[in-house]
């Protein structure tokens, strides 16, 4: 691993990974306007070669497509990758609670023991590996007790099929149930300069129980990258097309923030996106920041953020800029 990359532990599991992780939702294509397999594999290779070991995927990202691409990419590099995948979004049976339809296929939230046992085998097959480093419940299932879910996950851990247990998209009461039922190693939640609710709800509980926190949408679906021009138009099934957060007015506010962050960025010879990611990793309780990339250039840009340590003065300047430019951002 590149020695310049910040590395951190996934809770009490003993698993160590790069603080910057590669998120592969976009690589699955769904809701991101399709995918290019060759460019996606190049992005994963570039990440690993730059010392980014944490690769986050899920069966729901393209109904297995993302996991399949990750599996192809990690051949010959498995020992340098820390793979996080997920369970609980099930399109193989009618059990659980209906969540959404993808391309006409009903997808249910289901975290029963039989569903988890089936899903892990499918993920292992698609990934081409015999273990998953961090296995995360993707969305919570109101039809299954959390204690039953944890028991099933701990059986997989005892069998060596997973190394650490995580939960995503949960509330404080559910997090309390998880930590009461067994060793929860991580939570994965939306967090960015624009989405800070978990600072008051989940992170205090996670820190109390030594549970790592993985932030997703650290760049707010790319809005905080500073690379989306106010005039850009989104098309097809790109989820940003009708998202009010991507209004031209909001993009102008982000452009003003980019200008305000320029002095800090110049000190570190970094882009706005890299500074935003480094700021995210400096927030109390945030252990890992997941950042999407669809090609090698984007992946290397994200990796560079994992080498930046911001001073207390720089963090103060960034916080002031955020308060001045993003506090009234719409949606």
Q: Which residues are catalytic?
A: 61
Token pair of 172, please?
């404080």
Residue 23 and residue 52: Cα distance in Å, rounded? 11
Contact 84, 134 (CB under 8 A): yes
Q: Can you tell me the distance from the alpha carbon of 211 to that of 269, in angstroms, rounded to the nearest whole number?
A: 33
Closest CA to 224 of 167, 292, 136: 292
**Both tokens of residue 31?**
């809701």
Give me the half-sphere count of Cα atoms (radius 13 Å) on the Cβ side of residue 201: 15
Structure token pair of residue 304: 């560079």
Q: How far is Cα 294 from Cα 259, in angstroms, rounded to an integer?
A: 26
CA proximity to 68, closest of 130, 132, 129, 127: 127
Question: Which sign does the torsion angle of CA 20, 24, 25, 27 carry?
Answer: positive
Q: Residue 23 and residue 44: Cα distance in Å, rounded? A: 10
Q: Burial level of 281, CB count in 10 A (0-12/13-18/19+)?
A: buried
C-alpha span between 55 and 81 (Å, rounded): 7
Backbone angles phi, psi at 209, to 5 degrees: -105, 15
């Amino acid at each position: 691993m590149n020695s310049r990359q910040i590395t951190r532990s996934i809770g009490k599991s003993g698993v160590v990974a790069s603080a910057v992780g590669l998120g592969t939702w976009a690589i699955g294509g769904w809701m991101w306007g399709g995918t290019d397999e060759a460019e996606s594999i190049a992005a994963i290779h570039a990440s690993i070669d730059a010392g980014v070991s944490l690769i986050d995927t899920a069966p729901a990202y393209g109904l297995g497509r993302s996991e399949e691409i990750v599996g192809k990419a990690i051949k010959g590099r498995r020992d340098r990758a820390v793979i996080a995948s997920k369970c609980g979004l099930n399109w193989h049976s009618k059990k659980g609670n209906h969540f959404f339809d993808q391309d006409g296929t009903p997808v249910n939230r289901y975290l029963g023991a039989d569903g988890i046992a089936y899903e892990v085998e499918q993920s292992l097959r698609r990934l081409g590996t015999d273990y998953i480093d961090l296995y995360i419940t993707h969305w919570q299932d109101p039809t299954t007790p959390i204690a039953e879910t944890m028991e099933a996950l701990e059986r997989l851990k005892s069998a060596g099929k997973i190394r650490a247990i995580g939960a995503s998209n949960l509330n404080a009461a559910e997090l309390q149930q998880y930590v009461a039922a067994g060793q929860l190693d991580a939570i994965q939640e939306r967090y960015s300069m624009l989405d800070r609710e978990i600072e008051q709800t989940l992170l205090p509980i996670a820190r109390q129980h030594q549970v790592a926190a993985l932030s997703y949408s650290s760049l707010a679906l790319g809005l905080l990258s500073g690379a989306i021009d106010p005039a850009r138009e989104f098309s097809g099934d790109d989820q940003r097309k009708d998202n009010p957060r991507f209004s031209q007015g909001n993009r102008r506010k982000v452009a003003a923030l980019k200008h305000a962050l320029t002095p800090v960025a110049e000190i570190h010879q970094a882009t706005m996106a890299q500074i935003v990611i480094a700021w995210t990793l400096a927030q109390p309780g945030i252990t890992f920041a997941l950042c999407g990339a669809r090609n090698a250039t984007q992946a290397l840009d994200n990796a560079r953020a994992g080498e930046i340590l911001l001073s207390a003065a720089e963090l103060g300047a960034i916080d002031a800029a955020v308060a001045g430019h993003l506090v009234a951002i719409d949606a």
